[in-house]
Amino acid sequence: MSMTDRELVDLAFAMLERSYAPYSGFSVGAALLCADGAVFTGCNVENAAYGSTICAERTALVKAVSEGRRDGFVKLAVAGRSADYCWPCGACRQMLWEFAPGLTVLVARGDRDFISLPLSELLPHGFGPKTLEP
Ligand code: THU
């Protein structure tokens, strides 16, 4: 049986426990679903050199790519504890576009409500591999 959006969002919320965010105090969790049902999870991992921080979404994505996945990404859920929806940052939108321009993104807020929207709406006219073609 395939995973529901609610279940994927809940996996993203579970990752808040693993978040390492001593500087911002802003924990983020993510869960990336593949077509075959595999899920790669991630959390934000901050650093004393603040700019070296990696976001939850990119953690999930690089875990997947480093395990040999390059396509078949279907949905990504991202969750935070704040009142507003935890919108993916620009760098994460760009990194996701590289591998999954057709991705659906589930964006959750602290009360666990979430919005589903296409990555193409979060990153219109994205720059990707096709752009580099001569
Ligand atoms: N953060 C994410 O994990 N994902 C995003 O898309 C936005 C920001 C993290 C980075 C940093 O650890 C904290 O949220 C505050 O910016």
Pairing of strands 73-80, 114-118: unpaired
Question: With a 6 A CB cut-off, is 95 part of the ligand 1 pocket?
Answer: no
Number of H helices, E strands in the chain: 4, 5
pLDDT tens column, 111-134: 999 999 999 999 999 999 999 999
pTM score of the predicted model: 0.97
Average pLDDT over the chain, rounded to an integer: 98
pLDDT tens column, 88-117: 999 999 999 999 999 999 999 999 999 999
Strand, helix or coil at 77? strand
The reported pLDDT for the residue numbered 1 is 59
Of all protein residues, the one whose alpha carbon is nearest to atom 6 of ligand 1 is 88
Average pLDDT over residues 5-9: 98
Question: With a 6 A CB cut-off, is 56 part of the ligand 1 pocket?
Answer: yes
Ligand 1: centre distance to CA 66 (Å) = 21
Q: Which residues are catalytic?
A: 57
What is the third-level CATH fold of 5-132? Cytidine Deaminase; domain 2 (3.40.140)
Type of residue found at 60: A
Of all protein residues, the one whose alpha carbon is nearest to atom 13 of ligand 1 is 26
Question: With a 6 A CB cut-off, is 30 part of the ligand 1 pocket?
Answer: no
Question: With a 6 A CB cut-off, is 53 part of the ligand 1 pocket?
Answer: yes
Atom number of ligand 1 nearest to Cα 44: 3
pLDDT tens column, 22-61: 999 999 999 999 999 999 999 999 999 999 999 999 999 9
How far is the C-alpha of 81 from the C-alpha of 85, rounded, in Å?
A: 9
The reported pLDDT for the residue numbered 119 is 98
